[in-house]
Structure 1
Amino acid sequence: MLKLRVKLCSFAALGPGKANLLEAVDRCGSITAAAKDQGMSYRRAWMLIDEMNRAFREPVVGAAAGGRTGGRAEVSELGREVLAIYREVQQLAETAVSEPLQRLENLVADSPEPPPAGTAPGSGRHRPLRDDD
């Protein structure tokens, strides 16, 4: 499976998590409900949306303040366009790399064994993974 992450600027990227969150906000109509739908805290969802809103020329999500009936959030037209473009790029990338990825998957062990419990990443002869790995 391919997980596509697009670097937008020096502080933000768009990947499957943020794309799924945008879809959840669109479907649920609130950041609270979208956060719950995605299994994350409201604070985490709000921070991710704020990061996306800062990265683009216009907000991708707009919110109305809560009240007796609670707040509302709406994915903007720009947000829907961003999401559509991301999904298009994701589909094109998956199509382009499907054959080599299948060859790679064929080389993976049938039942790969996880590292022993208590083994810290970077211990022994292994080094921690970097972004460019």
Structure 2
Amino acid sequence: MSPPPPPPLRPVLRVDFPGERLGRGKIALLEQIRDTGSISAAGRAMGMSYRRAWQLVSALNTMFAEEAVALQRGGKQGGGASLTPFGEELIRRFRAMEEQSAAAMAEDLAWLEAARRKADDPL
């Protein structure tokens, strides 16, 4: 039986800010918060601790002039989190940048893929 084919090549977008960065992980966390309404549930879905998820949310909320995540303190209704309109726009624009960069590099990625050594090729 031959090994499964390797996954396709894909570019990874990361935007470096002074002392901080914005990448797929923070955007995925925002998407999970949007879907779950909770930082802890979002962190669990991504296999990270609440503390780590909270650190990333805090970093996101201080990177920009507007917050990406709005927090609701506990109480009768319990705590929770939701995306602000800015947070929604941040996801939309980041995903659009990913698509645009992949499209711009499609020809070169195809060339790299064609030149890539296959798993069953001899060294």
TM-score (structure 1 length as normaliser): 0.78
Structure 1 position 103, deviation (Å): 1.0
Q: Kindly report which structure 2 residues correspond to 1:19-98, keeping only aligned pairs within 5 A, or say none.
A: 19-67=27-75, 70-98=78-106
User: Which residue is 2:3 aligned to?
Assistant: none
Whether the 8 Å CA contact 1:12–1:52 is kept in 2: the answer is no
Structure 1 position 23, deviation (Å): 0.5
Count of matched residue pairs? 111
Unaligned runs of 5+ in 2: 1-9
Unaligned runs of 5+ in 1: 113-133
Q: Kindly report which structure 2 residues correspond to 1:10-21, keeping only aligned pairs within 5 A, or say none.
A: 10-21=18-29
Structure 1 position 108, deviation (Å): 2.0
Paired-residue identity, %? 37
Question: Aligned-pair RMSD on alpha carbons?
Answer: 1.5
Structure 1 position 38, deviation (Å): 1.2
Distance 1:63 1:87 in 2: 24
Q: Which structure 1 residue ranges, 4+ long, deviate > 4 Å from structure 2?
A: none
TM-score (structure 2 length as normaliser): 0.83
